[in-house]
Amino acid sequence: MMLICGVENEEMPADDFAKLQADTEEWIKEMDGRGVRLFGNRLHPTDTATTVRTRGGETLLSDGPFAETKEQILGFDLIDCADLEEALEIASRHPCAGIGAIEVRPLWEG
């Protein structure tokens, strides 16, 4: 799983944002063509999140994200790779790696 992280609501010039979108669409097309990208999408802003906790049999709901951090998870891509090396190569080519961070984490098997 690739978690795409960045600073939410960070101002970006319109031309830069359009280039980022075009570059991301090109990355998606390439990874879909390689057959390694299974699914992915952007996420709504953190102010739309609800955090759910269950303690002592009681469900507790909180508006907003689980943690206050400088960077947020902005989106994700589920990829199917031969090994970690291929996953890291794919993540390094994602356009958002140049302005934020891509966290690569394996899924539990089973």
Residue 109 lies in a domain: no
Element (H, E) at 73: strand 72-79
Q: Is 53 left (phi over 0), alpha (psi -120 to 50) or beta?
A: beta
What global pTM score does this model have? 0.86
User: What CATH number should be reported for the domain holding residue 65?
Assistant: 3.30.70.1060
Query: In the structure, what pLDDT confidence band is assigned to residue 84 with cuts at 50, 70 and 90?
Result: very high
pLDDT tens per residue, range 22-61: 999 999 999 999 999 999 999 999 889 998 999 999 999 9
Q: Is residue 26 part of a domain?
A: yes
Domain range enclosing 14: 2-104
Residue 83 pLDDT greater than 80, yes or no = yes
What tens digit of pLDDT does each residue of 60-77 get? 999 877 777 788 999 999
The number of domains in the chain is 1
Q: Look at residue 69 and tell me if it is in a domain.
A: yes
pLDDT at 55: 96
Q: What is the pLDDT, as a whole number, of residue 32?
A: 97
b/e per residue, 61-78, with b = 16+ CB within 10 A?
Answer: eeeebeeeeeebbbbbbe
Residue 110 lies in a domain: no
